[in-house]
Amino acid sequence: MTDRAKFISGVTASLGHSEVQTPSPDSATAIFESDETAKLKADQAMAVATGRSVELIEQMAESATAAGWHVHRVANPEDAAELIADICQKHDARSVLRSAHDVLTDIPLDVAIRDTGASIGVAESTHSTGSAGSADQSEREKAKKAVFSADVGITGVDYAIAETGTVVLHPRKGLSRLVSLAPPIHIAVLRPGEVLESLDELFAVERDDFLSGKLSGSLNLISGPSKTGDIEGTIVTGIHGPLEVHLLILDRS
């Protein structure tokens, strides 16, 4: 067995899997034989996410708690809005920014936040297309300043990983990556059907999106509050991102 094969085998065993998948060095689609195979694997991953949504939600709640998320279960959109407003009020938040995820427009969030006396707005993208003029640059700087000044950032979830308690976000129009990184408190709202079993399923979905041209830019993987061990190997929380993170699981949409 070559050193490379030993390494892949070791990683596979550490992840708790038995089947070792070795990519072909000449394959244009990495471990997948074709675009069709990539789509099939992605469809299978999403089918599992839907068919086992209740089980995966329970596993996600357990893993997220272990990762440092404050996990909340809510029964309906109204309860979600009330709980988010309570978190903001508890921290005396004056400025709140949210993403444009559908789940956040489906719940009466804006009214609930304003009732606490705080302002709420949609975080504009701070991503540069490379061809923007000075006016657009000024708008991006203004948007960036607003995010860093916010007390709370609220997002939906593009995907979640049950195995690791990880929230996955794709920065895009209506979702600045900073809204989950810059404010000291991040609140993420999760719905059933958005939870994948493991990173294997996430990579299958991402691979299909990439090959079909749907995927562009980066993604954020968030597994609890910001942590670093750079200083003498001591874990410190909240240095490079939110000190406190909340995961609201909306059991019914």
Residue pLDDT, tens place only, 179-226: 999 999 999 999 999 999 999 999 999 989 888 888 767 889 999 887
Please give the helix or strand (H or E) that residue 73 lies within, else none: strand 70-74
For residue 2, the model assigns a pLDDT of 66
pLDDT at 143 over 50: yes
Domain residue limits, the chain: 34-250
> Can you give the pTM of this predicted structure?
0.81
Look-up of token digits 């750079």: 230
- Three-state SS for 149? helix
Confidence of residue 133 (pLDDT cuts 50, 70, 90): low
pLDDT at 149 over 70: yes
By mean pLDDT, which of 100-104, 124-128, 225-229, 243-247 is the weakest? 124-128
pLDDT at 159 over 70: yes
CA torsion 117-153-62-57 (nearest 10°) is 90
Give the helix ranges, DSSP H, for the chain.
Answer: 3-14, 35-51, 53-67, 77-90, 102-106, 109-114, 134-149, 199-211
Q: Which superfamily is assigned to 34-250 in CATH? A: NagB/RpiA/CoA transferase-like (3.40.50.10420)
